[in-house]
Amino acid sequence: MCARAGEWLASRWQRFEPSSAGVAALVALLVPGSFLAWWDPTKADPVAGASVPALAGALYEVTDWIRHETPPAAVVLASEDYAPAVAALAGRRVLRAPTLLEPPDEWRRLRAQAAVLEGRDPQKHVARYGVTFVLIAPGEFAQHGLTTPEDLDARAHLRLRHKHPEGYRVYEIAR
């Protein structure tokens, strides 16, 4: 069988010797199926398991709230740290997720983020990207002058929709 497979491969690609090509094809076909169990290094090695960062329990609760209480077409403004979790756990689009993918209009998205968080009229940016909610966590967006999540309470265009005891807040952008 190896000889026939090797001859067939060698007829297609002249650089292979028929006997070695047949053995290589057999190994390539059979080796992946010979593993009886999936080896998970995070379970087999305690150091590898300890090196995998876990998500905060509060983040699961907040993303559950977003998934159940916001429309499926909602677009959420979240920090670089939390945007991938919102996309994956809540199933909502995000304005920016540069750790996943940086879009060609990143500079416009940064301006939209700044307009919403700094209290400037965000309507043209909100209309362009459809941003409807803001997720803020403790310590996020300090570059926009926010020292605590409660700082967004003073913004007239934002309405508090959800407050988690650990400091996470979800705001809706008023239209």
| pLDDT at res. 33 | 66
List phi, psi (to 5°) of 142.
-65, -30
Give the pLDDT confidence of 10-66 residue by residue, as tens digits.
Answer: 777 666 676 677 677 777 777 766 666 666 777 778 887 777 777 778 899 999 999
Strand partners, 94: 76
Instruction: Say whether pTM exceeds 0.75.
Output: no
Q: How many CB atoms are located within 10 Å of the residue 59 CB?
A: 21
Burial class of residue 57, CB neighbours in 10 A (0-12, 13-18, 19+): exposed
Question: How far, in Å, CA of 20 to CA of 26, rounded?
Answer: 10
Report how far Cα 104 is from the mean position of its chain's Cα atoms. Answer: 18
DSSP tag of 96: -
- Which SS3 state, helix, strand or coil, does residue 134 take? strand
**3 membership: H or E segment, kind and range:** helix 2-12
Residue 4 has pLDDT above 80, yes or no: no
On whether the CB atoms of residues 99 and 80 are closer than 8 A, the answer is: yes
Give the pLDDT confidence of 70-111 residue by residue, as tens digits.
Answer: 999 999 999 988 999 999 999 999 999 988 888 899 999 999
- Which SS3 state, helix, strand or coil, does residue 150 take? helix
Give the pLDDT confidence of 108-165 residue by residue, as tens digits.
Answer: 999 988 888 887 777 777 788 999 999 998 888 877 777 777 878 878 888 999 999 9
Q: How confident is the model at residue 171 (pLDDT cuts 50, 70, 90)?
A: very high
Which pair of structure tokens corresponds to residue 98? 């540069």
| pLDDT at res. 160 | 92
Report how far Cα 1 is from the mean position of its chain's Cα atoms. Answer: 47
Give alpha helix (H) positions in 31-161: 41-44, 46-51, 57-69, 83-85, 106-117, 123-129
